[in-house]
Amino acid sequence: MSVESIFPRLEALLPKVQKPIQYVGGELNSTIKDWDSADVRWALMYPDAYEVGLPNQGVAILYEILNELPGTLAERTYAVWPDLEALMRAEGVPQFTVDAHRPVRAFDVLGLSFSTELGYTNMLTALDLAGIPLLAEERGEDDPIVLAGGHAAFNPEPIADFLDAAVLGDGEQISIAISEVIREWKAEGRPGGRDELLMRLAESGGVYVPKFYDVDYHPDGRIKRVAPNRADVPWRVHKHTVMDLDEWPYPKKPLVPLAETVHERFSVEIFRGCTRGCRFCQAGMITRPVRERSITTIGAMVENGIKESGFNEVGLLSLSSADHSEIADVAKGLADRYEGTNTSLSLPSTRVDAFNIDLANEFSRNGRRSGLTFAPEGGSERMRKVINKMVTEEDLIRTVTTAYTQGWRQVKLYFMCGLPTEQDEDVLGIADLAKKVIQAGREATGSRDIRCTVSIGGFVPKPHTPFQWAGQADHETVDRRLKALRDSVRGDKQYGRAIGFRYHDGKPSIVEGLLSRGDRRVGAVIRAVWEDGGRFDGWSEHFSYERWRASAEKAGVDVDWYTTREREENEVLPWDHLDAGLDREWLWQDWQEAVNGSEVEDCRWTPCYDCGVCPTMGTEIQIGPTGRKLLPLTVV
């Protein structure tokens, strides 16, 4: 039975809201498939505004892969701003997809991609607007399977009550497998109802279904154990790893937004995973091992993406793009190919020790020379050893001096505040480092037209990292240190005006910490915040720390117990039954080495140090070089 578009009802509301264009769809390369031609239907959601959600690579890749499958369709939905939410409630307009404006509740799966935990309240808004019961246990056979993925899904316990299922790791292959399970179950006449479908998904060990696991607690509140409550459900759920990225060259037809978005470019992921071993970095830990795309596949993806989208900027993305074993050949090949055109190339934040001026010049060959961004993360050498960011002060000064002498005038440095073992002097060291950067630039160029922007974020301990046991710094300490740092920078007459200073206060980090390391009891806090009007918590103008504190008190949850408390080695952590491939003993040992200031080398270039991923996942690190060259398509 076909599902009608709700657009006629929505259209009447759009003149009354800000940025109505984000709700109309019709982007270049969007896909609308006939409803009745599909027997499995996905609504894919990035739980934030359209301008943030549309460029998300994860959603874009799954959108294409699923729409290429016969008998399967996928559409996209995003969080609506509060102005439209109010009108939708008043007029009875449900949560909708932007492709064909179909009601989300009509789909088989609502797949949510969480890059950050601060999108949880937006999920509840979407569920409620769609008419889907908030609690998984209250849903019926006609409700979609609510499925979470993305980095935050590696600990989905705080939203376990709202989820039917979660998937860890790469989504390309498992999304196809889930579609086939749903297709077979529907073709058989939906035997056993919703419970049977979830059981089929859980039995494989590749999909986590929270309702099939019970959590027992000690009297002091710590978790006693997490155990399956069904015979055929595995004790541990494993992450998914796509080993050959060349087999999955997506997106092939990138979506081109009609409204302005945070990234106006075509992005190509040149490799996945990272083994640098930065102890704070959840992304680097959970995406191991390293898997490179070949230079020829990268070249083909760039060529095709530009042709299909018309974008004139290409971003080569990964967690550390300059670490690709053939990055020099990739950069030169692409620069040769597009020299004299309006196509520019860009790299994201570059490691200080991986930066090379020849590489930077290749990426700016077409005349677009943007600022350079480096991430030392820690303000002192001691701090950088604790977090395993093996960058010395000499490395940084030498690198930025080279950049300044080659014509760059703007450098951005990214740091964190609140790191484990951090002292006041470690944070004040950021000011000293920034001043030395300005001084070196002035001396090297003979010019005072030298700028350095210092950007600082609050540290949040994350699951599946060596810092998962660490106590988080309270927001009063973080704010005090940041104020002292700001005063040190602004009070320096010689360098102060040349140093930009951007930072966030410590309160959002505490809430993120509660959500990132929380267990199922935190779900009551999320719901209470949402019921009190919490929306778009990742946006400073919408975030309310007082609301989160009051809601936690109402739910009987001690925020400090979840955030600033240090865990013991043998404490059962809420995510211990979810396997990212990392050996728990290795993580604990690395945590002890962090406290002692011991560094660990990158295992791509040194002997294996037994993090556990390769043998546990049955995988191996993939590094080049292939020895191939990327030739120009035409003579320009």
The string of pLDDT tens digits covering residues 328-373 is 899 999 999 998 888 888 887 677 777 777 787 887 776 666 668 8
Task: Return the pLDDT at 64.
Answer: 98
The single residue listed with the structure tokens 């206060």 is: 505
299: pLDDT strictly greater than 80: yes
532: pLDDT strictly greater than 60: yes
Cα separations in angstroms, 213 against 84, 153, 155, 184, 349 = 38, 16, 14, 25, 40
Cα(110)–Cα(106) distance, rounded to whole angstroms?
10
Residue 348 three-state SS:
coil
Q: Which of 192, 124, 195 has the alpha carbon at shortest distance from 161?
A: 124
Cα separations in angstroms, 157 against 116, 166, 276, 466, 516 = 14, 10, 28, 19, 9
Residue 105: CB atoms within 10 A of its CB come to: 18
What radius of gyration do the chain's Cα atoms show? 25
Q: Which two three-digit tokens encode residue 163?
A: 């989820």
Q: What percent of the chain has pLDDT over 90?
A: 78
Domain 265-370+601-635 classified CATH 3.30.750.210? yes
How wide is the angle at C-alpha 511 spanned by C-alphas 508 and 513, nearest 5°?
Answer: 110
Q: What is the DSSP letter of 28?
A: B
Contacts of 595 (CB under 8 A, 6+ apart): 386, 420, 421
The string of pLDDT tens digits covering residues 174-213 is 999 999 999 999 999 999 999 999 999 999 889 999 999 9
The string of pLDDT tens digits covering residues 412-468 is 999 999 999 999 999 999 999 999 999 999 998 998 889 999 999 999 999 999 999
Task: Return the pLDDT at 635.
Answer: 43
The string of pLDDT tens digits covering residues 73-114 is 999 999 999 999 999 999 999 999 999 999 999 999 999 999
The single residue listed with the structure tokens 């309160």 is: 507
- CA 437 to chain centroid, in Å, comes to 30
409: pLDDT strictly greater than 90: no
User: CATH code for 6-238?
Assistant: 3.40.50.280
Cα(84)–Cα(91) distance, rounded to whole angstroms?
10
Q: Which of 311, 315, 319, 259 has the alpha carbon at shortest distance from 285?
A: 319
Q: What is the DSSP letter of 350?
A: B
> Which of residues 360 and 132 earns the better pLDDT score?
132
Cα(25)–Cα(23) distance, rounded to whole angstroms?
6
Q: Which two three-digit tokens encode residue 551?
A: 């809601």
**Of 57-71, 342-356, 392-406, the least confident:** 342-356
Task: Return the pLDDT at 632.
Answer: 67
Residue 398: CB atoms within 10 A of its CB come to: 14
Q: In what order do the strands lie in the sheet with 372-377?
A: 372-377, 410-417, 451-458, 499-503
pTM for this one? 0.95
Domains of the chain by residue range: 6-238, 265-370+601-635
What pairing do the DSSP bridges indicate for beta strands 213-217 and 165-166?
unpaired
Average pLDDT over the chain, rounded to an integer = 93
Cα(447)–Cα(200) distance, rounded to whole angstroms?
67
